[in-house]
Amino acid sequence: MLDFAKELHRQRGAGGFFAGAAPGLLQIVPYMGINFMLHDVLVARLGRSGTGGSGASGLAGMAAGVVSKLLVFPMDTVKKRLQAEAFWGPAAAGSGGGSGGISSRYDSKPPPNAGLGNAGVVAAVNRRLVDKPPSAGGAPYGGMVDCFARIARSEGIHAFYKGIFPSLVKSSVSTGASFWLFTLTRNLLRSMYDGKLKIA
């Protein structure tokens, strides 16, 4: 990791560490807002139907994770393209790096997902579907807006949703598990405080 960080700084400069930061920040606010809003709405509806507890919170979280990720995924794609460019693309001007990008130094090493095991399968599949060398050998992206416009113009709107399925699976499971564990822990602590053991 340290070796890669040094090479990234050598070829891309300090800005290489922040590749894709703008779309990442722009997507996280609506993503988390939709997550919590939709979760609370669904939990309230499930509560009125007689279904409550940590299980209902987990199910609501899974649904919220799918919807929120689906809505912000185009921005997520732009973020990943810009991050991939820091690896695949040409070195920043005046940085002292070569023209082949950071990837040229690691071509003889195993692929990024080698040896990940089951824990990294979904994330690795998503990266392989979304990430690609910048603009298929064309000029580097000029930033978030340029990346967004060029993807739409040269690849079509559907390109913003490449890799959507594994990403939805990941978001659904992780968000559902987070809300389930949060509610389970909260109920347990409340039960301990009230002197009652009611976890479900």
Residue 110 domain-assigned? Answer: yes
Residue 199 domain-assigned? Answer: no
Nearest to 60 by CA among 93, 76, 38: 38
Compare 172 and 24 and report the one with higher pLDDT. 172
Q: Could you read off the pLDDT of 80-126 as tens digits, one per residue?
A: 888 777 766 544 433 444 445 555 554 544 445 444 444 444 455 45
Residue 200 domain-assigned? Answer: no
Residue 116 domain-assigned? Answer: yes
- Decide if 17 contacts 9 (C-beta within 8 A): yes
For all residues of the chain together, what is the average pLDDT? 75
Which range is least confidently modeled, 69-78, 109-118, 167-176, 181-190? 109-118
**87-96, 106-115, 141-150, 154-163 — which one is most confidently predicted on average?**
154-163
Compare 50 and 192 and report the one with higher pLDDT. 192
Residue 174 domain-assigned? Answer: yes
pLDDT given at position 114: 47
- Decide if 102 contacts 11 (C-beta within 8 A): yes
Residue 56 domain-assigned? Answer: yes
Q: Total structural domains in the chain?
A: 1
Threshold 0.75, pTM exceeds: no
Residue 108 domain-assigned? Answer: yes
Residue 65 domain-assigned? Answer: yes
Tell me the C-alpha distance between 199 and 174, whole Å. Answer: 21
Both structure tokens of 119 = 């824990």
Which range is least confidently modeled, 108-112, 138-142, 166-170? 108-112
Q: Which are the contacts of 46, defined by CB distance < 8 A and separation ≥ 6?
A: 52, 56, 59, 60
Percent of the chain with pLDDT over 90: 25
Both structure tokens of 199 = 């976890």
Domain span at residue 23 reads 2-194
Which range is least confidently modeled, 4-8, 68-72, 168-172? 4-8
Q: Could you read off the pLDDT of 12-32 as tens digits, one per residue?
A: 677 667 766 777 787 888 899
84-98: buried (b, 16+ CB within 10 Å) or exposed (e) per residue? bbbbbbbbbeebebe
pLDDT given at position 104: 53
**Range 171-191 average pLDDT:** 91
